[in-house]
Structure 1
Amino acid sequence: MVSLLCCGPKMAACGIVLSVWGVIMLVLLGIFFNVHSAVLIEDVPTKEEDFKGGPSRIYGLYEQVSYNCFIAAGLYVLLGGFSFCQVRLNKRKEYMVR
Protein backbone atom coordinates (compact mmCIF):
# COMPACT_ATOMS: atom_id res chain seq x y z
CA MET A 1 0.00 0.00 0.00
CA VAL A 2 1.38 3.38 -0.99
CA SER A 3 1.12 6.04 1.67
CA LEU A 4 0.45 9.60 0.57
CA LEU A 5 1.43 10.92 3.98
CA CYS A 6 3.98 13.72 3.62
CA CYS A 7 3.37 15.99 6.66
CA GLY A 8 3.17 15.40 10.32
CA PRO A 9 0.05 16.08 12.38
CA LYS A 10 1.22 19.49 13.62
CA MET A 11 2.18 20.73 10.18
CA ALA A 12 -1.13 19.53 8.75
CA ALA A 13 -3.05 21.31 11.52
CA CYS A 14 -1.03 24.46 10.88
CA GLY A 15 -1.91 24.19 7.19
CA ILE A 16 -5.61 24.04 8.05
CA VAL A 17 -5.38 27.11 10.30
CA LEU A 18 -3.44 29.09 7.68
CA SER A 19 -5.89 28.03 4.98
CA VAL A 20 -8.92 29.13 6.95
CA TRP A 21 -7.33 32.49 7.68
CA GLY A 22 -6.19 32.90 4.08
CA VAL A 23 -9.63 32.14 2.68
CA ILE A 24 -11.37 34.55 5.06
CA MET A 25 -8.88 37.35 4.41
CA LEU A 26 -8.74 36.96 0.63
CA VAL A 27 -12.50 36.64 0.19
CA LEU A 28 -13.01 39.84 2.19
CA LEU A 29 -10.30 41.60 0.18
CA GLY A 30 -11.88 40.36 -3.04
CA ILE A 31 -15.26 41.72 -1.98
CA PHE A 32 -13.79 45.10 -1.03
CA PHE A 33 -11.89 45.35 -4.31
CA ASN A 34 -15.05 44.35 -6.17
CA VAL A 35 -17.02 47.24 -4.63
CA HIS A 36 -14.16 49.62 -5.56
CA SER A 37 -13.16 50.59 -2.02
CA ALA A 38 -11.28 53.89 -2.13
CA VAL A 39 -9.02 52.85 0.75
CA LEU A 40 -7.45 50.14 -1.42
CA ILE A 41 -6.48 52.42 -4.34
CA GLU A 42 -2.80 52.14 -3.38
CA ASP A 43 -2.96 48.37 -3.90
CA VAL A 44 -4.30 48.65 -7.44
CA PRO A 45 -1.54 48.59 -10.10
CA THR A 46 -2.24 51.90 -11.84
CA LYS A 47 -0.25 54.05 -14.24
CA GLU A 48 -0.59 57.74 -14.92
CA GLU A 49 -2.51 57.03 -18.15
CA ASP A 50 -5.18 55.04 -16.28
CA PHE A 51 -6.39 58.15 -14.49
CA LYS A 52 -6.89 60.05 -17.75
CA GLY A 53 -9.31 57.50 -19.20
CA GLY A 54 -12.07 58.05 -16.65
CA PRO A 55 -13.18 55.84 -13.81
CA SER A 56 -13.97 52.83 -16.01
CA ARG A 57 -10.29 51.98 -16.45
CA ILE A 58 -9.67 52.17 -12.71
CA TYR A 59 -12.77 50.06 -12.02
CA GLY A 60 -11.46 47.44 -14.44
CA LEU A 61 -8.20 47.29 -12.53
CA TYR A 62 -10.10 46.96 -9.25
CA GLU A 63 -12.06 44.03 -10.68
CA GLN A 64 -8.89 42.34 -11.95
CA VAL A 65 -7.34 42.52 -8.49
CA SER A 66 -10.64 41.24 -7.05
CA TYR A 67 -10.53 38.19 -9.35
CA ASN A 68 -6.92 37.56 -8.34
CA CYS A 69 -7.95 37.58 -4.67
CA PHE A 70 -10.74 35.07 -5.34
CA ILE A 71 -8.35 32.81 -7.27
CA ALA A 72 -5.85 32.93 -4.40
CA ALA A 73 -8.68 32.10 -1.95
CA GLY A 74 -9.48 29.07 -4.11
CA LEU A 75 -5.87 27.95 -3.89
CA TYR A 76 -6.06 28.27 -0.12
CA VAL A 77 -9.16 26.06 -0.17
CA LEU A 78 -7.14 23.43 -2.04
CA LEU A 79 -4.32 23.72 0.50
CA GLY A 80 -6.87 23.33 3.30
CA GLY A 81 -8.27 20.21 1.65
CA PHE A 82 -4.80 18.76 1.29
CA SER A 83 -4.00 19.55 4.93
CA PHE A 84 -7.28 17.98 6.03
CA CYS A 85 -6.42 14.81 4.13
CA GLN A 86 -3.01 14.77 5.82
CA VAL A 87 -4.67 15.06 9.23
CA ARG A 88 -6.93 12.12 8.38
CA LEU A 89 -3.99 10.03 7.14
CA ASN A 90 -2.06 10.82 10.33
CA LYS A 91 -5.02 9.75 12.47
CA ARG A 92 -5.37 6.52 10.50
CA LYS A 93 -1.63 5.82 10.85
CA GLU A 94 -1.86 6.45 14.59
CA TYR A 95 -4.87 4.13 14.81
CA MET A 96 -3.13 1.35 12.89
CA VAL A 97 0.00 1.54 15.07
CA ARG A 98 -1.99 0.92 18.25
Structure 2
Amino acid sequence: MKICGPKLSLCGLIISTWGIIQLILMGIFYYVQSVALSEDIALEGEYNTIEEFYSLAERGYLQTAYNCWIAALFYIFTLVISGHQFYVNSRASSTM
Protein backbone atom coordinates (compact mmCIF):
# COMPACT_ATOMS: atom_id res chain seq x y z
CA MET A 1 0.00 0.00 0.00
CA LYS A 2 1.48 3.26 -1.14
CA ILE A 3 1.18 6.08 1.41
CA CYS A 4 3.86 8.56 0.35
CA GLY A 5 6.01 9.24 -2.69
CA PRO A 6 9.62 8.31 -3.36
CA LYS A 7 11.12 11.66 -2.31
CA LEU A 8 9.26 11.77 1.01
CA SER A 9 10.13 8.16 1.80
CA LEU A 10 13.81 8.84 1.06
CA CYS A 11 13.69 11.94 3.25
CA GLY A 12 12.11 9.85 6.02
CA LEU A 13 14.89 7.28 5.70
CA ILE A 14 17.62 9.91 5.98
CA ILE A 15 16.07 11.82 8.88
CA SER A 16 15.22 8.63 10.77
CA THR A 17 18.75 7.29 10.40
CA TRP A 18 20.25 10.54 11.68
CA GLY A 19 17.72 10.72 14.53
CA ILE A 20 18.53 7.17 15.66
CA ILE A 21 22.27 7.83 15.66
CA GLN A 22 21.96 11.15 17.47
CA LEU A 23 19.52 9.98 20.14
CA ILE A 24 21.43 6.79 20.91
CA LEU A 25 24.64 8.80 21.34
CA MET A 26 22.88 11.40 23.48
CA GLY A 27 21.39 8.62 25.61
CA ILE A 28 24.85 7.17 26.14
CA PHE A 29 26.26 10.56 27.12
CA TYR A 30 23.41 11.14 29.57
CA TYR A 31 23.89 7.64 30.97
CA VAL A 32 27.57 8.32 31.71
CA GLN A 33 26.53 11.69 33.21
CA SER A 34 28.35 14.02 30.86
CA VAL A 35 28.90 17.39 32.49
CA ALA A 36 28.34 19.18 29.17
CA LEU A 37 24.68 18.10 29.28
CA SER A 38 24.05 19.06 32.92
CA GLU A 39 21.99 22.11 31.97
CA ASP A 40 19.44 19.91 30.21
CA ILE A 41 18.40 17.79 33.19
CA ALA A 42 15.58 18.87 35.47
CA LEU A 43 17.19 20.25 38.64
CA GLU A 44 15.08 22.81 40.42
CA GLY A 45 14.74 24.05 43.96
CA GLU A 46 17.00 24.04 46.95
CA TYR A 47 18.87 21.08 48.37
CA ASN A 48 19.64 20.45 52.02
CA THR A 49 22.66 18.24 51.48
CA ILE A 50 25.09 17.58 48.67
CA GLU A 51 24.04 13.91 48.69
CA GLU A 52 20.45 14.95 47.96
CA PHE A 53 21.66 17.04 45.02
CA TYR A 54 23.79 14.19 43.64
CA SER A 55 20.91 11.75 44.01
CA LEU A 56 18.50 13.99 42.12
CA ALA A 57 21.13 14.74 39.46
CA GLU A 58 21.79 11.01 38.91
CA ARG A 59 18.06 10.35 38.65
CA GLY A 60 17.68 13.21 36.16
CA TYR A 61 20.54 11.95 34.00
CA LEU A 62 19.12 8.41 33.98
CA GLN A 63 15.59 9.54 33.16
CA THR A 64 16.82 11.73 30.31
CA ALA A 65 18.91 8.84 28.94
CA TYR A 66 15.84 6.60 28.95
CA ASN A 67 13.82 9.32 27.21
CA CYS A 68 16.45 9.56 24.46
CA TRP A 69 16.43 5.81 23.94
CA ILE A 70 12.64 5.71 23.80
CA ALA A 71 12.65 8.48 21.19
CA ALA A 72 15.24 6.46 19.21
CA LEU A 73 12.79 3.54 19.22
CA PHE A 74 10.15 5.80 17.69
CA TYR A 75 12.65 6.78 15.01
CA ILE A 76 13.29 3.09 14.32
CA PHE A 77 9.55 2.69 13.75
CA THR A 78 9.63 5.66 11.36
CA LEU A 79 12.66 4.16 9.60
CA VAL A 80 10.80 0.89 9.03
CA ILE A 81 7.74 2.68 7.63
CA SER A 82 9.89 4.90 5.38
CA GLY A 83 11.94 1.93 4.22
CA HIS A 84 8.79 0.03 3.33
CA GLN A 85 7.45 3.00 1.40
CA PHE A 86 10.77 3.44 -0.42
CA TYR A 87 10.66 -0.24 -1.39
CA VAL A 88 7.05 0.00 -2.59
CA ASN A 89 7.82 3.12 -4.63
CA SER A 90 10.97 1.67 -6.21
CA ARG A 91 9.13 -1.55 -7.06
CA ALA A 92 6.22 0.37 -8.60
CA SER A 93 8.54 2.51 -10.74
CA SER A 94 10.54 -0.50 -12.01
CA THR A 95 7.41 -2.31 -13.25
CA MET A 96 6.27 0.59 -15.40
Using structure 1 for the length normalisation, give the TM-score: 0.89
Identify unmatched segments of 5+ residues in structure 2. Answer: none
Identify unmatched segments of 5+ residues in structure 1. Answer: none
- Partner residue, 1:38: 35
| 83-92 or 43-52, larger mean C-alpha shift | 43-52
Structure 2 vs 1, CA of residues 51 and 89 (structure 1 numbering), >3 Å: closer, same or farther? farther
| 76-85 or 87-96, larger mean C-alpha shift | 87-96
Deviations 1:58-97 (A, max 9, x none): 101100000000000010011000000001111222133x
Structure 2 vs 1, CA of residues 50 and 38 (structure 1 numbering), >3 Å: closer, same or farther? farther
2:8 aligned to which of 4, 7, 11: 11
- Partner residue, 2:21: 24
- Partner residue, 1:93: 92
Q: Is the 1:50–1:58 contact (alpha carbons within 8 Å) kept by the matching residues of 2?
A: no
> Take 2:38 and 2:53, find their aligned partners in 1: how far apart are those partners?
15
Shift of 1:6: 1.0
Residue type of the partner of 2:23? L
Residue type of the partner of 1:60? R
Q: Is the 1:51–1:58 contact (alpha carbons within 8 Å) kept by the matching residues of 2?
A: no
**Which of structure 1's runs of 4+ aligned residues deviate more than 3 A?**
49-52
> Take 1:94 and 1:78, find their aligned partners in 2: how far apart are those partners?
24
Shift of 1:56: 1.5
Structure 2 vs 1, CA of residues 50 and 73 (structure 1 numbering), >3 Å: closer, same or farther? farther
Using structure 2 for the length normalisation, give the TM-score: 0.90
Per the alignment, in what secondary structure is the counterpart of residue 46 of structure 2?
helix
What is the CA RMSD across the aligned residues, in angstroms?
1.4
